[in-house]
Structure 1
């Protein structure tokens, strides 16, 4: 059974966030929030701004205007501006807040010169200062969770794409994030490997309190794991609601058009 989400305000909040590249506006005064412990999936056509949201949360990109808040603390801005106002956040400041966030990318990004165990333990040991024995114990638990307890000593090149992605999921969880971002995690996999990775993520969604923010074109997966589905188009949320309504009886013509093309 899925655990009960902890009470409190939004864990993630976007307030009139704009992201532009030159004259091209990717996110257009975006407002949305994710409550603690909830599972939110972003759907919509390619280029609608979904992955940009995840990249902003990971501070791989910076906002053009507006603010992003994580657990009540501004991520995009920090105190110390003139007249007590916020100013753009420094890299050090963002790095501290980003410890709450883990991300699984489309590409696996494993270290080819390290075995599976070392891939998972390297960041907890070097970034969080966890003792190696403890980090390895946790890594073995996570490898069992993702069905790879027999691959501790394997190198990434000895694993299939689906196995590498499951290692990447374990690596993200090893940092004990409050938030897990999933960016099209099956898009680089052969079709026969997709189901295994999605099953692992379903187990995580059902058995933990972790807050999930997911970008995917796997609509059945989105229907299964989501508390809320957000439909994006042209950098804005045009429709939001529970999956049974979004997939069963969407209100917006653009949502119906998109789902008609992908389902």
Structure 2
């Protein structure tokens, strides 16, 4: 299952190395993941081209978040290979895994900010300690990203002083501060109060429209998926049952399972 149409908007989030626009950036081949006797991913094959925004939809438990966790190296596949920017992520030596992992950023359902650090320090800590960026350079970058997500005045605030929506926007800025080639989004609004969801989704829409960063998104926000996606993959029981542009998937899906799912969530 290939996702390979090119997208080349201006990269306002900053330059990144590798992954020429339109070229294959992520590939999963025959990936299987089991938890005990339960097979979560079943011989999964698909690829994502650089600069594309791909959304994974489907019922809970269909394997969507497991894909993101595999790419983040939070878990490992039982079978198959995963390649990022032409380098093998699994199986691979641990040193190679750590280097490839730097190319991938993730925004989780829960914000996971450091409560004892300011907003600015939350964003600069990883670029300084992991990438070796100077503190001054990291702070300039962090302030630019806080302006991008609408929080330029919150540099000195602590996470406890922010709303849930503001904390999630800080988490988005923190992920972008690492200049990832791939940004993974895992149900980033699911922990928010309903009135805070729109603000976070608007920030992500702006990033999708103004940058060429590759996005792989798991969401139950179907309107958001329709807006930002180049390609939508419908998952069920650890397999892709249908793939296509959002206009077709949401407007005229081919598979009965896709129609059943969308009728339940729309």
Q: Would the TM-score normalized by the shorter structure come out above 0.5?
A: yes
**What TM-score do the two structures reach when normalised by structure 1?**
0.94
2:248: which partner in 1? Answer: 245
- Equivalent-residue separation in structure 2 for 1:97 and 1:247 (angstroms): 34
- Equivalent-residue separation in structure 2 for 1:228 and 1:150 (angstroms): 35
**What TM-score do the two structures reach when normalised by structure 2?**
0.93
1:175: which partner in 2? Answer: 178
Matched, 1:153 2:156: yes
- Equivalent-residue separation in structure 2 for 1:11 and 1:195 (angstroms): 30
Runs of 4+ residues over 2 Å off in structure 1: 1-9
- Equivalent-residue separation in structure 1 for 2:30 and 2:187 (angstroms): 25
Choose from 49, 62, 76 the match for 1:35: 49
SS, match of residue 202 in structure 1: helix
Choose from 113, 118, 121 the match for 1:115: 118
Q: CA RMSD in A?
A: 1.2
- Equivalent-residue separation in structure 2 for 1:143 and 1:97 (angstroms): 26
2:145: which partner in 1? Answer: 142
Matched, 1:255 2:262: no
Which segments of 5 or more consecutive residues in structure 2 lack a partner in the other structure?
1-7, 12-18
Choose from 41, 46, 66 the match for 1:52: 66
1:85: which partner in 2? Answer: none
Which segments of 5 or more consecutive residues in structure 1 lack a partner in the other structure?
79-88
- Equivalent-residue separation in structure 2 for 1:7 and 1:163 (angstroms): 31
Equivalent pairs counted in the alignment come to 252
